[in-house]
Amino acid sequence: MVSARSRFWILIGLVTISGFSQGMLLPLLAVILEKNGVSSSINGLHATGLYIGILISSPFMEKPLQRLGYKPIIMIGGALVFVSLALFPFWQALWFWFALRMLVGIGDQVLHFGTQTWITASAANESRGKSIAYYGLFFSVGFTLGPLMTNLLSISLYIPFLVSALLSLIVWSTMWFVRNEMPDHNDTTVYSTSSIKRFSRALKLGWVAFLPPLTYGFLEATLHGIFPVYGMRIGHDVNILSLIIPSFAAASLLSQIPLGALSDRIGRKKVILFVVAGGMVAFLFAAFFEHSTLWLFVTFALGGLFVGSLFSLGISYMTDLLPKELLPAGNIMCGMAFSLGSIAGPFLSGIVIDLFPGLSFFYIIVGLLLLVFISTASKRNPQVQHLST
């Protein structure tokens, strides 16, 4: 059996390939459905399948983990992902692909729950933050590389799915060398369901902190799931779009740690307002110069530098706003907000593109960021307890 350090990197590898599969599926299926004549509203609705799977599986994770341990849970999640990916090419039916998207979402959520809990439970207190930083970083790396698989469509419809399934299988197979461990009850209580009263109180106190995760989910799913459709309609080549889309996530890798450190010094609210304002400017420029490939690269990268850190900033802001006894409920609600944004983004954007074909896709994003800016600015500053620690 492998050492604890080797186990850590095996778990990180699983997270990377999970990000890769998610980053591939959204633009890949969007391009295929668009070429098959599916409307953008149906295309957007179809893209929600992944996040519906994530959302519906979230409340049912803790008890199986307590009963089976980390390794079986992770292997079940990973197996769901690579088997589902391998099945995509064999039957091109909308309902079948939607079901497979949901299965991939469920598998990814199971895998993430197991790996994230194991990493946080086994890491030393002084290195836990660094370990989670690696976790988020490598997921983003996988998510950045995933859209490149759309280039393989020129060879065959089967190739992107089968290559992704094979990579997932190879990384998943390394888990056979890891010894199972059973979690301590305290390591999973953060994921357990809270009472309606606790959720209501968390929402009342920290509602503004749930907007950044919701917005990030909206952006991530929309840019990967609907922008390829819009990009082809305004004349861009599929292969170019597959390179433009990852520039958002790639740029966010550069700014996450600096923005997090800045928020520790000057406060979460100021940094969130700054990045949301920067995101509005970036996507306004994208709307003005959407026919230019170069400008789309630049504006997507600028957008990623600013708003690519909204999810982590939202979680940090939530910890400032909520008392310690409500942090478990707050963490669950941040995840739910992300999933809801991911579900709403492609569907609503697809409808707007269908109803207003002359309206730039990017105005939808600018409008959402403006609402978040106004809502955040209207929130009174809390008595921040965590910034001084």
Domains and their CATH numbers in the chain? 1-193 (1.20.1250.20), 195-380 (1.20.1250.20)
CA 53/CA 55 separation, integer angstroms: 5
What is the structure's pLDDT at 127? Answer: 55
Residue 93 is given by DSSP the state: -
Which of helix, strand or coil describes residue 182?
A: coil
Taking alpha carbons only, the member of 35, 6, 8, 25 closest to residue 237 is: 35
Taking alpha carbons only, the member of 368, 97, 51 closest to residue 221 is: 51
Q: Report in angstroms the alpha-carbon separations of 143 from 23, 122, 247, 300, 347.
A: 4, 25, 11, 15, 21
Two structure tokens written together for 149: 């698989």
- Report which residue type is found at 120: T
**Dihedral over alpha carbons 274, 278, 280, 284 (to 10 degrees):** 160
What is the structure's pLDDT at 168? Answer: 92
Q: List Cβ<8 Å contacts ≥24 apart for 379-386.
A: 379/208, 379/269, 381/267, 381/269, 382/320, 382/321, 384/267, 384/268, 384/320, 385/320, 386/316, 386/319, 386/320
Taking alpha carbons only, the member of 220, 199, 221 closest to residue 210 is: 199
Q: Inform me whether the pLDDT recorded for 388 exceeds 60.
A: no
Q: Helix and strand tally (H, E) in the chain?
A: 19, 0
How large is the average pLDDT for residues 58-71? Answer: 79
How large is the average pLDDT for residues 202-225? Answer: 90
* Whether the Cβ atoms of residue 377 and residue 272 lie closer than 8 Å to each other: no
Q: Which residue has the higher pLDDT, 163 or 191?
A: 163
112-145: per-residue pLDDT in tens? 778 877 876 676 655 554 566 677 678 778 887 8
How large is the average pLDDT for residues 359-371? Answer: 93
Taking alpha carbons only, the member of 222, 215, 202, 209 closest to residue 325 is: 202
139-178: per-residue pLDDT in tens? 778 887 888 888 888 888 889 999 999 999 999 999 999 9
**Residues 258-288 as b or e (16 or more Cβ within 10 Å = b):** ebbebbeeebbbebbebbbbbbbebbbbbbe
Range scoring the smallest mean pLDDT among 48-62, 299-313, 335-349, 363-377: 48-62
CA 49/CA 135 separation, integer angstroms: 24
**Residue 18 CA to chain centroid, in angstroms?**
11
* Whether the Cβ atoms of residue 114 and residue 79 lie closer than 8 Å to each other: no
Taking alpha carbons only, the member of 218, 220, 215 closest to residue 249 is: 220
What is the structure's pLDDT at 281? Answer: 97
* Whether the Cβ atoms of residue 39 and residue 357 lie closer than 8 Å to each other: no
* Whether the Cβ atoms of residue 216 and residue 314 lie closer than 8 Å to each other: yes
Q: Which residue has the tokens 């819009």?
A: 230
